Amino acid sequence: MKTAVVGATGMVGRTMMKVLEERNFPVSELIPAASEKSVGKDLIFKGKPVKVVSVMEAVKAKPVFAIFSAGASTSKEWAPLFAKNGTIVIDNSSYWRMDKNVPLIVPEINSHVLKKGDRIIANPNCSTIQMVMALAPLHRKYKIKRLVIATYQSVTGTGVKAVTQMENERKGIKGEMAYAYPIDMNCFPHGGTFQPDGYTTEEQKLTDETRKILEDPKIQATATVVRIPVVGGHSEAVNVEFEKDFRIDDVISLISNFPGVVVYDNPAENKYPMPILSHNRDEVFVGRIRRDLSREKCLNLWIVSDNIRKGAATNAVQIAEYMVEKKLY
């Protein structure tokens, strides 16, 4: 089926094309779309060159799916035009996520909310996706009361410009800065835009999106987002307080048996998740699973996943796969 990738020349857009190819999504024609400066460029899909077109040309082509990774302003402007033409938009930006009429989907968790006629579907924030993948089976059994989250986020979450900044710093080259500070040999507690309450937009997303995906507005959460100089994926230290008590072996079993999640946890052998392990992989890795000894019914988890793959591109393609499987297009 005809499929457009909007923002095809970016880091996530290119990975979306790669994932469509890897997973043998039934693409009859791929339409890579990007900004005017990229129109006419060749990208490779299934070993053959495909020309980048304008977003307007992609709309006119009336694809079955348009998978977006081009920023909130692009999604705001163009997603309704695709939808009006009958295309199903799967949007990776933040723009539609908290719209009450737009489903926010991690297929392994809440694909049941998707229905025929949905024309705009939101892909959650990368940090949210990996966290809820680990938390969903636990929430179903023990009911989450409160989350305390610290993220350690890869520079790939900011894009090519940030990766280039880090690489330049490592080579001693002065170049364009994606951040206000050097990132190599450094980290800073700043992801997104600071709000009047002192939290950033990235921190707020972790609260709002988790509640929506897990379908529980009562979950309390507080987060600190930190950017670190790695490329392999995002890491999260998550402290979870439940309403019901748990046994650690049951927790491990629940997480292990959840699709797409791997328990990687044996401290005696220095076995724990790291970005270097998750790089270019679709699984969410969970380790350092232990009871919080300072408080009852509390658990500590360390969660790592490739933010460009499961955190963005793979999740979006999985949504499209589900729509095809259930004939919801």
CATH of residue 26's domain is: 3.40.50.720
92 and 226 housed in the same domain: no
Which DSSP category does 187 fall into?
Answer: -
Structural domains counted in the chain: 2
Enumerate residues 6+ apart whose C-beta is below 8 A from 33: 4, 5, 6, 7, 8, 52, 53, 54, 55, 57, 58
Q: What would the mean pLDDT of 75-95 be, rounded to a whole number? A: 97
State the Cα–Cα distance between residues 315 and 101, nearest whole angstrom.
20
Q: Which residues does the annotation mark as catalytic?
A: 126, 234
State the Cα–Cα distance between residues 298 and 306, nearest whole angstrom.
26
> How many of the other CB atoms lie within 10 Å of CB of 171?
9
291 and 169 housed in the same domain: yes
320 and 270 housed in the same domain: no
State the Cα–Cα distance between residues 94 and 183, nearest whole angstrom.
24
Question: What's the confidence (pLDDT) of residue 78?
Answer: 97
Q: What would the mean pLDDT of 275-304 be, rounded to a whole number? A: 98
Alpha-carbon dihedral of residues 251, 257, 262, 268, nearest 10 degrees?
50
**For the segment 62-82, what is each residue's pLDDT rounded down to a tens digit?**
999 999 999 999 999 999 999
Question: What's the confidence (pLDDT) of residue 24?
Answer: 97
pTM over 0.85: yes
CB 231 within 8 A of CB 163: yes
Instruction: Identify the domain containing residue 241 by its residue range.
Output: 127-307
Residue-averaged pLDDT of the chain: 97
245 and 258 housed in the same domain: yes
Residue with token string 């900044």:
165
80 and 174 housed in the same domain: no
Instruction: Categorize the per-residue pLDDT at 181 as very low, low, confident or very high, splitting at 50, 70 and 90.
Output: very high
Distance from chain centroid for Cα 293: 31
Question: What's the confidence (pLDDT) of residue 63?
Answer: 98
Burial 246-273 (b: 16+ CB within 10 A, else e): beeeebeebbeebebbbbbbeeeeeebb
161 and 112 housed in the same domain: no
Q: What would the mean pLDDT of 253-262 be, rounded to a whole number? A: 98
177 and 63 housed in the same domain: no
9 and 155 housed in the same domain: no
**For the segment 119-150, what is each residue's pLDDT rounded down to a tens digit?**
999 999 999 999 999 999 999 999 999 999 99
168 and 47 housed in the same domain: no
**For the segment 15-61, what is each residue's pLDDT rounded down to a tens digit?**
999 999 999 999 999 999 999 999 999 999 999 999 999 999 999 99
Residue with token string 């089926």:
1
23 and 112 housed in the same domain: yes
CB 160 within 8 A of CB 10: yes
**For the segment 204-221, what is each residue's pLDDT rounded down to a tens digit?**
999 999 999 999 999 999
**For the segment 307-317, what is each residue's pLDDT rounded down to a tens digit?**
999 999 999 99
The CATH number of residue 287's host domain is 3.30.360.10
149 and 109 housed in the same domain: no
145 and 83 housed in the same domain: no
